[in-house]
Amino acid sequence: MIEFCNVAKDFQNFSVLKNITFSVSKGEVVGIAGKSGAGKSTILKLVSGILQPTKGSVATKAFRLGYVFQKPRLLAWKTALDNAILPLRAMGVARREAMATGKDLMDYLGLQGFDNTYPAQLSGGMCQRVAIARALLTKPDLLLMDEPFNGMDSILKDNIFQLLEKKIIQYDATVLYVSHNTDELSRLSSRVIYLEKGRLL
């Protein structure tokens, strides 16, 4: 599903990733760990095509991509529900159907009653849950998540883990996700990639 072949990524004269080679098979759940600034988010951006490698190649066979960014990146002028269903609407799903599906998922994520609330009125953890709903609603076959549990308490995290475990099986999704937390990494992933000084350990 994902293939990195001798990938290097430089920003101006700064070399973030050096000669990275790894692959992720369909249905695998792989964690990415490493110190702050090690290049974890850069790996996800390369997978998604937001960034291009300086050297080497990055290939994916994803049909539908879900991406939970490090920051929620919600549109300030849209309600929580409208933010969550944005990719569904872009795919041509009728508004009424998208809203019903979106509302169910938002309720499951503990956001009952906040459908019509704007991002500025939500907490950081609530915005992050809207972003998780947005990434899951399209039934992605590749899910990229960058510190998806930021701002969440342990009970909430546990609910979201259960939801993710269910959805990953349901969508037969491949998952690549970044976390600093070893408990979070060991709970979901079958393998962890560790980045240090631009190289894979």
Ligand X SMILES: Nc1ncnc2c1ncn2[C@@H]1O[C@H](COP(=O)(O)OP(=O)(O)OP(=O)(O)O)[C@@H](O)[C@H]1O
Q: Which is nearer to ligand X, 34 or 148 (CB)?
A: 34
Binding window for ligand X (CB under 6 A); candidates: 29-37, 55-63, 132-140, 162-170: 29-37
Distance between CA 4 and CA 57 in Å, rounded? 6
Residue 11 interacts with ligand X (CB under 6 A): yes or no: yes
Residue 200 interacts with ligand X (CB under 6 A): yes or no: no
186: left (phi over 0), alpha (psi -120 to 50) or beta: alpha
- Identify the bridge partners of residue 8 per DSSP, sorted by sequence position: 55
CA 2 distance to own-chain centroid: 15
Residue 38 interacts with ligand X (CB under 6 A): yes or no: yes
Q: How many residues bind ligand X (CB under 6 A)?
A: 11
**Which residues from 76-105 bind ligand X, rule CB under 6 A?**
none
Alpha helix locations (H) across the chain? 40-48, 80-84, 86-90, 95-108, 124-136, 154-171, 182-188
Residues in the chain: 201
Binding window for ligand X (CB under 6 A); candidates: 36-44, 122-130, 137-145, 165-173: 36-44
Distance between CA 151 and CA 28 in Å, rounded? 26
Residue 69 interacts with ligand X (CB under 6 A): yes or no: no
Residue 49 interacts with ligand X (CB under 6 A): yes or no: no
Q: Among 31, 39, 53, 148, which residue sits at the site for ligand X (rule: CB under 6 A)?
A: 39
Binding residues (CB under 6 A) for ligand X: these are: 11, 16, 34, 36-42, 70
